[in-house]
């Protein structure tokens, strides 16, 4: 697609160049090529960069799991925020009631024109920057809704019928911070701030270096290669004896992990809850490395210090710092009692290592006794996941396993994001690419990318059967 390039209107207000669909060329050049949008190296004085977000809702859940266009651009602001120290984007959402204008308030909106002037033919978005010397005053971001349809996603552009608001937003927000196009100033670098939209969908080292040269670097700024992470899992199921205990598994990678594991029963607002759960933590060899009945009897002070101790004295908890490996938490009823219980694994050390996958095995029935698994994705980056619902493949090791499974994935508002019965029917799924074991045709799976937030997975039998089921959530980010 031929590109169109905007030109400066004057020294203090610039109509920035268009983003156009074009391939990115990798050329040899200096290590950093970032450039500034004004000769004065204008920047926000901080500590806040107040923004009014007016993109509104979408008619569907966006491809990356965003519930609205507002959420997509707010995630982009959060990604810039985690890199810079002396100024932070802050935002509030408002409905769009009038066209963007130079009024001293920074807005982000869909527009049919730019302050009354037409967009360039191939222009995806424009940012108008107003500064006074070294001080930025207003930076309005306008997405060209007259010509383009927008979504929010990651990966290649070629197969998409809509433009990616998220990567375009990262670019335009870089202009809002005071950065311009390095490739138009003879700097050949890999950067989201280059003038052409491409398959590049994340901030790069050059982008971060430019922003940090204006605002300083946060001491806890993550590397640009860091993605979202699985922060915790919680699964509710009916607990019995033998194979009907509740088993939660997780894998830690890339460093040690401090986790808090809780087994809840008495505090659940349910009839038939487990009155007195017990908890064991096993290593990859099956050895018990920690156990607890009533949480106040061991580690009470340390668990209270996490600020999330169980609310009932009869509930169990274990606080542990674990090396990379595979671990299993087993919840059962004291003295062989049965009832509904909840197992939770919290990641308490987000700065080190990661939880690569989480799983829970338990008895699945109908009605309120389906398996309900919750997981949290911590960001601000999104997370690519594969979710599997297993039953038949557990046999013959587990003779009472489900004969078939189905899955539902819901977001924190209860909105159904994806469902599957028969994994071969699932879109966006490539089990072989991630080395996952074979599944039977009667089992289910979902491939998805989700933004930071809370999610619920419901595992049941599509034929209303009952038996032991296993739900797994895999972190498959590179």
pLDDT in tens, 312-328: 999 999 999 999 889 98
Q: Which helix (H) or strand (E) segment is 72 a member of? A: helix 69-81
Question: Comparing C-alpha atoms, which of 356, 72, 361 is closest to residue 231?
Answer: 356
pLDDT of residue 272: 85
Greater confidence, 350 or 144? 144
Give, as one character, the DSSP assignment of residue 124.
Answer: -
Which position has the token pair 């019995």? 240
- For residue 364, with 0-12 CB atoms within 10 Å meaning exposed, 13-18 middle and 19 or more buried, which class applies? buried
Best mean pLDDT range from 51-65, 76-90, 122-136: 76-90
Q: Are β-strands 107-111 and 135-144 bridged in parallel, bridged antiparallel, or unpaired?
A: parallel
Which position has the token pair 């032991």? 468
Which position has the token pair 């999104």? 382
Greater confidence, 427 or 203? 203
- For residue 403, with 0-12 CB atoms within 10 Å meaning exposed, 13-18 middle and 19 or more buried, which class applies? middle
Q: What is the mean pLDDT of residues 212-218?
A: 95
Question: Comparing C-alpha atoms, which of 446, 465, 329, 331 is closest to residue 392?
Answer: 465
The span from the CA of 310 to the CA of 294, in Å, is 10
**pLDDT band at 122; cut points 50, 70, 90:** confident
Cα-Cα-Cα-Cα dihedral of 416, 422, 428, 433, to 10°? Answer: 140
Q: Is the dihedral of CA 450, 360, 338, 365 positive or negative?
A: positive
pLDDT at 220 over 70: yes
The span from the CA of 194 to the CA of 468, in Å, is 53
Q: Are β-strands 150-151 and 163-164 bridged in parallel, bridged antiparallel, or unpaired?
A: parallel
Residues pairing with 373 in the sheet:
235, 457
In the chain, list all ranges with CATH 2.60.120.380: 229-475
Lowest mean pLDDT among 95-99, 178-182, 253-257: 253-257
pLDDT of residue 11: 19
In the chain, list all ranges with CATH 3.40.390.10: 13-215
pTM of the predicted model over 0.75: no
pLDDT of residue 2: 25
CA 187, chain centre distance (Å):
32
**pLDDT band at 88; cut points 50, 70, 90:** very high
**pLDDT band at 4; cut points 50, 70, 90:** very low
Q: Is the dihedral of CA 405, 410, 414, 417 positive or negative?
A: negative
Domain 229-475 adopts which CATH fold?
Jelly Rolls (2.60.120)
pLDDT at 287 over 90: yes
Structure tokens at 124: 């995806």
For residue 58, how many C-alpha atoms fall within 13 Å in the half-sphere facing its CB? 20
Q: What is the mean pLDDT of the chain?
A: 83
pLDDT at 380 over 80: no
Residue 310, CA distances (Å) to 261, 336, 344 in order:
10, 21, 11
The span from the CA of 264 to the CA of 260, in Å, is 13
Phi, psi of 173 (to 5 degrees): -65, -30
Question: Comparing C-alpha atoms, which of 404, 368, 402 is closest to residue 238?
Answer: 368
Question: Comparing C-alpha atoms, which of 478, 459, 474, 252 is closest to residue 385?
Answer: 474
CATH architecture of 13-215: 3-Layer(aba) Sandwich (3.40)
Say if CB 79 and CB 173 are below 8 A apart. no
Q: What is the mean pLDDT of residues 41-56?
A: 94
Say if CB 423 and CB 444 are below 8 A apart. yes
Say if CB 441 and CB 422 are below 8 A apart. yes
pLDDT of residue 367: 82
pLDDT at 345 over 50: yes
Structure tokens at 417: 């994001």
pLDDT at 6 over 80: no
Residues in Cβ contact with 89 at an 8 Å cutoff, skipping those fewer than 6 apart: 49, 51, 77, 78, 80, 81, 173
* DSSP E strand boundaries for 268-382: 277-282, 288-292, 316-322, 325-333, 339-347, 354-364, 371-378
Question: Comparing C-alpha atoms, which of 275, 143, 270 is closest to residue 197?
Answer: 143
Give, as one character, the DSSP assignment of residue 184.
Answer: G
- Percent share of the chain, pLDDT over 70: 91
pLDDT of residue 462: 93
Say if CB 84 and CB 216 are below 8 A apart. yes
- For residue 158, with 0-12 CB atoms within 10 Å meaning exposed, 13-18 middle and 19 or more buried, which class applies? exposed
Q: Are β-strands 277-282 and 288-292 bridged in parallel, bridged antiparallel, or unpaired?
A: antiparallel
pLDDT at 164 over 60: yes
Q: What is the mean pLDDT of residues 233-253?
A: 81
pLDDT at 35 over 70: yes
């Amino acid at each position: 697609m031929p590109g169109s390039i905007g030109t400066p209107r004057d020294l203090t207000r610039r109509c920035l160049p268009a983003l156009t669909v074009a391939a990115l060329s990798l050329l040899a050049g200096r290590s950093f090529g970032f450039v500034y949008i004004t000769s004065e190296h204008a920047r926000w004085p901080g500590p806040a960069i107040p923004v009014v977000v007016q993109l509104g809702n979408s008619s569907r859940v966006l491809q990356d799991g965003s519930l609205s266009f507002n959420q997509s651009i707010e995630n982009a602001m959060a990604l810039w925020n985690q890199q810079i120290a002396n100024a932070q984007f802050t935002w509030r959402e408002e409905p769009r009631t009038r066209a963007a204008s130079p009024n001293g308030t920074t807005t982000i909106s869909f527009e049919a024109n730019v302050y009354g002037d037409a967009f360039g033919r191939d222009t995806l978005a424009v940012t108008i920057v107003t500064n006074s010397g070294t001080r930025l005053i207003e930076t309005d971001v306008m997405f060209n809704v007259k010509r383009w349809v927008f979504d929010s996603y990651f990966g290649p552009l070629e197969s998409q019928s809509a433009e990616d608001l998220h990567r375009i937003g990262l670019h335009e927000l870089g202009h809002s911070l005071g950065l311009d196009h390095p490739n138009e100033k003879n700097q050949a670098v890999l950067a989201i701030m280059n003038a052409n939209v491409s398959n590049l969908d994340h901030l790069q080292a050059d982008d971060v270096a430019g922003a940090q040269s204006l605002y300083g670097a946060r001491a806890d700024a993550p590397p640009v290669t860091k993605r979202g992470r699985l922060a915790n899992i919680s699964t509710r199921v009916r607990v019995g004896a033998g194979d009907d205990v509740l088993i939660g598994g997780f894998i830690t990678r890339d460093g040690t992990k401090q986790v808090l594991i809780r087994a809840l029963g008495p505090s659940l607002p349910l009839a038939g809850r487990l009155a007195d759960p017990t908890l064991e933590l096993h290593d990859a060899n099956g050895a018990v490395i920690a156990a607890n009945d009533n949480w106040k009897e061991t580690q009470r002070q340390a668990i209270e210090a996490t600020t999330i101790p169980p609310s009932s004295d009869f509930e169990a908890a274990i606080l542990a710092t674990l090396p990379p490996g595979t671990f299993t938490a087993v919840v059962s009823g004291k003295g062989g009692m049965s009832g509904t219980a909840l197992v939770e694994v919290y990641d308490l050390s987000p700065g080190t290592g990661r939880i690569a996958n989480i799983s829970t095995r338990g008895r699945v029935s109908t009605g309120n006794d389906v398996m309900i698994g919750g997981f949290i994705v911590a960001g601000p980056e999104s997370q690519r996941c594969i979710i599997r619902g297993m039953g038949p493949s557990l046999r013959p090791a587990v003779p009472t396993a489900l004969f078939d499974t189905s899955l539902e994935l819901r977001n924190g508002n209860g909105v159904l994001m994806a469902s599957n019965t028969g994994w071969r029917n699932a879109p966006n799924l490539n089990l072989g690419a991630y080395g996952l074991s074979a599944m039977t045709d009667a089992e289910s799976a979902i491939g998805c990318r989700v933004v930071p937030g809370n999610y619920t997975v419901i595992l049941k039998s599509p034929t209303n059967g009952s038996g032991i089921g296993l739900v797994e959530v895999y972190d498959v980010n590179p």
